[in-house]
Amino acid sequence: MRQAITAVICRNESKYKAARDYGLKRTTIESRIKALLKRNNIDELRRQLKDSGNETEEEMIFSNKYTSCQVFNVNQEAQLSEYIKKLADMNYGLNYSQIRTLAYHYAKLIVDCKIPEKWKQNKMTDKYILKYPSIFVILCQYCFDCSKLIWIT
């Protein structure tokens, strides 16, 4: 996505050509460029796209539409999934509901985390695992109930 937008904005390629070259829909490129131009003027946007020092900020800009609904960012998700893996490696695996409760308590510890009201009412996450692919994969690989391995797919 970033390469297609860079081609359109910095190299003045057409949106049709960028969509064809990068295998994206033209309307997707148009909507992303429109959203970026609302935040920045064209010169500032060109500078940001050429600058390689803003990788994390740009990754957020070019992320998918579900990113706004997510509670954890990429680093927090990775930390949580590593912790779940570590527990499983120590033979203290958690089942599905325990992982949901753990994720809720982890979200409470994060200072700027926006926890949904439903999580607060239930004291656990709302089947969030489907939104976070790395945690879902770990759940499938490592989730077990004390005595035997239970594969969840």
For the cut 60, the answer to whether the pLDDT of residue 153 exceeds it is: no
Looking at the structure, tell me whether residues 101 and 137 fall in a common domain: yes
Q: Is 68 within the bounds of a domain?
A: no
Number of domains in the chain: 2
pLDDT the model gives residue 137: 57
* Residue carrying the six token digits 């109930």: 145
Cα–Cα dist 145/127, whole Å: 18
Whether 142 contacts 150, CB under 8 Å: no
For the cut 50, the answer to whether the pLDDT of residue 21 exceeds it is: yes
pLDDT the model gives residue 140: 58
Looking at the structure, tell me whether residues 49 and 86 fall in a common domain: no
Looking at the structure, tell me whether residues 44 and 94 fall in a common domain: no
Residue 38: domain span: 2-63
Residue 147: which pLDDT band, with cuts at 50, 70 and 90? very low
The domain boundary, picked from 16, 38, 63, lies at: 63
For the cut 80, the answer to whether the pLDDT of residue 146 exceeds it is: no
Give per-residue pLDDT as tens, 35-61. 888 877 777 777 766 654 444 444 445
Whether 151 contacts 88, CB under 8 Å: no
Whether 2 contacts 36, CB under 8 Å: no
Give per-residue pLDDT as tens, 76-115. 888 888 888 888 788 777 777 888 888 889 989 988 888 8
Looking at the structure, tell me whether residues 49 and 89 fall in a common domain: no
Q: Is 142 within the bounds of a domain?
A: yes
Does the predicted TM-score (pTM) go above 0.75? no
Whether 126 contacts 114, CB under 8 Å: no
The conformational region for residue 121 under phi > 0 = left, psi -120 to 50 = alpha, else beta, is alpha
